[in-house]
Every structure is written in structure tokens, then in C-alpha cells.
Copies of this chain bind each other. A is one copy, B any other.
Amino acid sequence: MALQKGDLVILQKGSKKYLLIIKEEIFHTHAGYLDLSQIEGKEYGDYILSSKGVPFYILKPTIFDLLMKIKRQTQIIYPKDIGYILLKLDIVEGKTVLECGCGSGALTTALAYFVGKTGRVISYEKKESFVEIARTNLKRFNLEERVVFKLKEVEEAFDEEEEVDALFLDVREPERLLFPAYRALKGGHPLGILVPTTNQVTSVLKGLEALPFVDIEVIEIFLRPYKLNPERFRPEDLMVAHTGYLIFTKKVKVKDGNED
């Protein structure tokens, strides 16, 4: 299928990747400049040559690629964590999911991607500059219509009239939003929380004990990258040691005192 103006592509040379939109434009790289209009009519898997004759492969951007190319003002949630969140929060076509704290919009992007055209993401964020950058990212990825931003602090309650299918908190004091989250969520459905510190985890765990939530899980995910030489196969020298603790639970309507 021939690529057209407006399509999103990855141009890759070695480990260097660029996420670009096909249009009449010259794009400069260390290996010479690229005439982006040359991509038109090519297909994914083809390449174009830079002004220095260096090939840049035209690749289909995956959601992983989009996440790695998020323009960021903040620490973003990493793919290793996002993949697990999708499974725990059950994010597929048609779901309505509420997130509080959009940051630069990495998780927002993934949620919008996976709820599809028939689903919806509601994103609360009190900081205007974060909403702007998240929106910019979503626009680049053609996902902005799936997201409703609410630029406000949440104190007592979220605004939604209908309960949502899943809810995610990425804020400094998530323990203060547990009751609003409880009220906004459908019965039996999942809540996820990301926090960087153990103090926050313990605050959340105490808060969850006081509300009708069950099936609590607290985990960390590590990703260990390897070098690619098959004659000297070994891990990379450095890795990310910490992004955050992930907490998951499910809402029940009332907690019966007879359970253990």
C-alpha cells in the first residue's frame, strides 16, 4: 500500500529513529538531509537515501515507537509498565477509561490507542502545560479525538455521570483520590495506581483498607536490555533501576465482614 502525504513513518538508520509525517520538507540528520516528499509512493520496508547516500528505512510506527517518541516535560511511564497496565485494566476497543495525572501523555496515548475509535479516555490534569504537551503528542499520533481533557484539580469527586470501566491514578497523593476513584468506577472493575516511592505505596495500601476494594496487587517491573553481538552475548552495562511501584485493585460494592 503506497504511502501518502500525512502518513506517519519511522525513518531508521542503525539505532537512530525519527518519527516523521510525510510532507514537502527537508529533514536534517547527521548522515545528511532527507527529502521527506520522496517517501510518498513508497511502502513500509522500503528506504530512501539521504543527501550523503545513506539509506534510511521506512518503518511502520508501532504504539511502542510512538511511546518512545513522546515529547516530554516530565518523567514518562515506560512501555514495560504500560504493557502490564493494559492487561490489568483490561484496555480494549470500546472501553471508557479515566486517568488522573496525564503528565506528558505517554499512558494517555497508549490508552487512546487501545480503546479504539469506539472507546474514550477521560484525562484529568490540573497543570495546563501538561495538558498542552499531552495534546500535542496525541495530535501527532491522530488520537486526540479519543481523549477528553479536564483541566482541573479533583477534590471531592470526578464529574462523570456514568461509571467508567477502568481508572488510573498517576498523581503525587493518590491516597486522597481513592474515594473519588471508588465512586467513579463500575463495580468489580479495576483501578491502577503508579507511585515512585514506598511511602506513597504504604499510604495507598492504608487508604485501600478503609474502602471496599479487593484483589490488591503491588508489583515492580524491570526491563533488562541485552547487547546484540551473538559471539559475545551479554546484558547492557546499565539499566533503569526504578520507574515506580504499580498498585492494582478492584472495586466491590460493600465489604462483608465475614471474609478473611
Residues of A at the B interface (CB closer than 8 Å) are: 10, 12-14, 17, 43-47, 53-55, 57-60, 62-64, 67, 79-80, 82-90, 92-93, 110, 113-114, 116, 186-190, 196-199, 201-203, 205-206, 209, 214-242, 245, 250-254, 256, 258-260
User: What residues of B have a CB within 8 angstroms of the CB of A235 in the complex?
Assistant: 241-242
Q: Are A62 and B87 in touch, CB under 8 angstroms? A: yes
Assuming the contacts A57-B188, A60-B188, A259-B55, asked whether A84 and B90 have C-beta atoms less than 8 A apart, the reply is no
A160 to chain B, nearest CB (A): 16
User: What residues of B have a CB within 8 angstroms of the CB of A226 in the complex?
Assistant: 201, 218-220, 245
Given contacts A47-B252, A57-B250, A62-B87, 15 further A-B contacts (CB under 8 A): A12-B215, A43-B188, A45-B186, A47-B256, A57-B252, A60-B189, A62-B88, A62-B190, A63-B90, A79-B87, A197-B233, A198-B202, A209-B230, A218-B228, A219-B225
With CB as the reference atom, state the residue of chain B lying closest to A86: B83
Complex formed: what's the CA distance from A13 to B89 in Å?
20
Q: Are A234 and B86 in touch, CB under 8 angstroms? A: no
Q: Are A241 and B225 in touch, CB under 8 angstroms? A: yes
User: What residues of B have a CB within 8 angstroms of the CB of A230 in the complex?
Assistant: 201-203, 205-206, 209
Q: Are B233 and A241 in touch, CB under 8 angstroms? A: no
User: What residues of B have a CB within 8 angstroms of the CB of A233 in the complex?
Assistant: 197-199, 201-202, 205
Complex formed: what's the CA distance from A119 to B199 in Å?
41
Assuming the contacts A64-B88, A83-B86, A260-B14, asked whether A44 and B189 have C-beta atoms less than 8 A apart, the reply is yes
Cross-interface CB contact of A199 among B80, B202, B252, cutoff 8 Å: B202
User: What residues of B have a CB within 8 angstroms of the CB of A240 in the complex?
Assistant: 237-239
Q: Are B260 and A13 in touch, CB under 8 angstroms? A: yes
Complex formed: what's the CA distance from A12 to B237 in Å?
28
The 6 closest A-B pairs by CB, nearest first: A45-B187, A83-B83, A44-B188, A239-B241, A62-B90, A235-B242
User: What residues of B have a CB within 8 angstroms of the CB of A82 in the complex?
Assistant: 83, 87
User: What residues of B have a CB within 8 angstroms of the CB of A110 in the complex?
Assistant: 87
Cross-interface CB contact of A242 among B53, B198, B234, B250, cutoff 8 Å: B234
User: What residues of B have a CB within 8 angstroms of the CB of A217 in the complex?
Assistant: 225
Q: Are B215 and A241 in touch, CB under 8 angstroms? A: no
User: What residues of B have a CB within 8 angstroms of the CB of A229 in the complex?
Assistant: 205
Complex formed: what's the CA distance from A92 to B216 in Å?
27
User: What residues of B have a CB within 8 angstroms of the CB of A87 in the complex?
Assistant: 62-64, 67, 79, 82-83, 86, 110
